[in-house]
Amino acid sequence: MDQTAFAYRPLYVQVRDQLVRRLIDGEWQPGQHIPSEIELAREIGVSQGTIRKALDAMTAENLLIRRQGRGTFVARPEESRILFQFFRLVPDDGKPRFPDSAILDRRPAAATAAEVDSLGLSAGDRVWRVERVRTLDGAPLLVETLTLPDARVPGFGDLEAIPNNVYGLYSERWGITIGRASERLKAIAATETDAAALGCAPGTPLLAVTRIALDLENKPVELRVSRCLTQAVHYSSELG
Amino acid sequence: MDQTAFAYRPLYVQVRDQLVRRLIDGEWQPGQHIPSEIELAREIGVSQGTIRKALDAMTAENLLIRRQGRGTFVARPEESRILFQFFRLVPDDGKPRFPDSAILDRRPAAATAAEVDSLGLSAGDRVWRVERVRTLDGAPLLVETLTLPDARVPGFGDLEAIPNNVYGLYSERWGITIGRASERLKAIAATETDAAALGCAPGTPLLAVTRIALDLENKPVELRVSRCLTQAVHYSSELG
DNA sequence: TAGTGGTCTAGACCACGAC
DNA sequence: TCGTGGTCTAGACCACTAT
Q: Mean pLDDT across the stretch B76-81?
A: 83
Q: Mean pLDDT across the stretch B36-51?
A: 91
C1’ D10 / CA A47, Å? 8
Considering only residues 143 to 202 of chain A, which have any Cβ-Cβ distance to chain B shorter than 8 Å?
A: 178-189
pLDDT category, A4, cuts 50, 70, 90? very low
**Tens digits of residue pLDDT in B133-167:** 999 999 999 999 999 999 999 999 999 999 999 99
Q: Please tell me the pTM assigned to this model.
A: 0.90
Q: Does B89 score more than 60 pLDDT?
A: yes
In Å, how far are A91, B46, B56, B59, B240 from B62, measured between CA atoms?
Answer: 30, 23, 10, 5, 19
- Please tell me whether residue B86 adopts helix, strand or coil conformation: helix
Instruction: Measure CA A223 to chain center.
Output: 10
- Strand C proximal residues, A:60-119, Cβ < 7 Å: 66-72
List of domains in chain A:
11-74 (1.10.10.10), 79-235 (3.40.1410.10)
Task: Give the number of C-alpha atoms closer than 13 A to the C-alpha of residue A23, restricted to the C-beta side.
Answer: 28
Q: What is the pLDDT of residue B80?
A: 80
User: What mean pLDDT value characterizes chain A?
Assistant: 92
User: What mean pLDDT value characterizes chain B?
Assistant: 92
pLDDT category, B226, cuts 50, 70, 90? very high
- Across the interface, do B240 and A205 touch by the CB < 8 Å criterion? no
pLDDT category, A77, cuts 50, 70, 90? confident
Spatial distance between the Cα atoms of A188 and A6, rounded to a whole number of angstroms: 49
- Please tell me whether residue B66 adopts helix, strand or coil conformation: strand
Q: Mean pLDDT across the stretch B50-60?
A: 92
**Tens digits of residue pLDDT in A124-182:** 999 999 999 999 999 999 999 999 999 999 999 999 999 999 999 999 999 999 999 99
Helix axes A11-24, A37-44, angle to 10 degrees: 100
Nearest to B237 among A203, A208, A237 (CB): A237
Q: What is the pLDDT of residue B7?
A: 59
Spatial distance between the Cα atoms of A12 and A15, rounded to a whole number of angstroms: 5
Contacts of A86 in chain B (CB under 8 A): 239-240
Is residue A94 within 8 angstroms of chain B, CB to CB? no
Contacts of B239 in chain A (CB under 8 A): 85-86, 88, 180-183, 211
Q: What is the pLDDT of residue B1?
A: 38
Spatial distance between the Cα atoms of A118 and B69, rounded to a whole number of angstroms: 40
**Tens digits of residue pLDDT in A98-133:** 899 999 999 999 999 999 999 999 999 999 999 999
Q: What is the pLDDT of residue B152?
A: 96
Spatial distance between the Cα atoms of B147 and B237, rounded to a whole number of angstroms: 25
- Across the interface, do A239 and B61 touch by the CB < 8 Å criterion? no
* Strands in A51-125 per DSSP E: 64-67, 71-74, 89-91, 100-110
Q: Does A3 score more than 60 pLDDT?
A: no
Q: Does A1 score more than 80 pLDDT?
A: no
Q: Mean pLDDT across the stretch B217-222?
A: 96
Instruction: Measure CA A134 to chain center.
Output: 17
pLDDT category, A79, cuts 50, 70, 90? confident
Q: Does B13 score more than 70 pLDDT?
A: yes
The distance of A110 to chain B (nearest Cα, Å) reads 25
- Across the interface, do B207 and A187 touch by the CB < 8 Å criterion? yes
- Across the interface, do A205 and B185 touch by the CB < 8 Å criterion? no
**DSSP H stretches of helix in B123-200:** 166-174, 192-198
Query: Nearest nucleotide to B35 by CA–C1' distance?
Result: D4
Spatial distance between the Cα atoms of A72 and A78, rounded to a whole number of angstroms: 17
In Å, how far are A111, A120, A148 from A116, measured between CA atoms?
Answer: 6, 6, 11
Q: What is the pLDDT of residue A94?
A: 82
Q: What is the pLDDT of residue A83?
A: 81
Per the structure, the residue whose CA is closest to nucleotide C7 at C1' is B10
Q: Does A230 score more than 60 pLDDT?
A: yes
% residues pLDDT > 70 (chain A): 97
Is residue A60 within 8 angstroms of chain B, CB to CB? no
Q: What is the pLDDT of residue A2?
A: 36
In Å, how far are A62, A110, A181, A218, B37 from A82, measured between CA atoms?
Answer: 11, 29, 12, 18, 39
Q: What is the pLDDT of residue A7?
A: 59
Instruction: Measure CA B196 to chain center.
Output: 28
pLDDT category, B82, cuts 50, 70, 90? confident
- Across the interface, do A238 and B207 touch by the CB < 8 Å criterion? no
